[in-house]
Amino acid sequence: APNIFEVKPETKLVSQSIKVYLDTTRVKGWNEIDAVQLVSSNNSRQWATKASASSTYATRAGKSESREITWDSLPPSVVKTVPQAGSTDVDPDLKEIAVTFSKDMLTDRMWAVVQISNETFPKTRKGIHYLDDKRTCVIPVDLEPGKMYVIWFNRGRFNSFRDTENNPAVPYLLVFKTKSK
């Protein structure tokens, strides 16, 4: 069940952005906020669905952190992409995008290739799969010349790239451009 908490400021707030920080000393794993409900002084309500949040493992004053950090408890991260992030001369005939993680991954249809717009997302084909190394996911694509592509691997609630301990991978943004023909 979702946790709901209320914060009441002592003074009037005027802001275009709201940041929510979670103290997760008692909660293992990663946390996310899908939406924040804003309530005005006249009790009108509005949902902010593009809210962002940061989870921190804070400690209370005078108490030490007892959570053990191990290889298994840490999330996997992207260590390599093909094409390389930031490339501006990618061959538009490239037929596969590959992302390699730092740890062995759950490989049975476990991926989250996320778009931010139709215009910057490559046309994908069937057959997304992992290589035998259990760390590299391959996405079949059809690229166009002279175009910028933007792809998230894990983002927000779309976090199906997970290691064998079920830790979601750290979100990674891949941006590249193809050469003009």
**148 and 115 in one domain?**
yes
Per-residue pLDDT of the chain (181 residues; tens, 9 = 90+): 455 556 666 666 565 555 555 555 544 444 455 555 666 666 666 655 544 444 444 444 445 455 688 999 999 999 999 999 999 999 999 999 999 999 999 999 999 999 999 999 999 999 999 999 999 999 999 999 999 999 999 999 999 999 999 999 999 999 999 999 8
Q: What are the backbone dihedrals phi and psi of residue 18, each rounded to the nearest 5 degrees, phi first? A: -130, 130
- Domain residues for the domain of 93 are 78-177
The reply to whether 109 and 163 lie within a common domain is yes
Residue 159 pLDDT: 95
Is there a single domain that holds both residue 52 and residue 87? Answer: no
The answer to whether residue 147 sits within a structural domain is yes
Does residue 143 lie in a domain region?
yes
Please write the tens of the pLDDT for every residue from 78-94.
999 999 999 999 999 99
* pTM: predicted TM-score of the whole model, two decimal places: 0.65
* Residues 117 and 64 sit within 8 Å (Cβ to Cβ): no
Total domain count, the chain: 2
pLDDT of residue 181: 84
The residues, any chain, with a CB within 8 Å of residue 75's CB and separated by 6 or more, are 30, 163, 167, 168, 169, 170
The answer for 73, left when phi > 0, alpha when psi is -120 to 50, beta otherwise, is alpha
Verify that 132 and 171 share a domain, yes or no.
Answer: yes
pLDDT score of 60: 46
**173 shares a domain with 127:** yes
Same domain, 42 and 92: no
pLDDT at 52: 47
CATH code where residue 95 lies: 2.60.40.1220
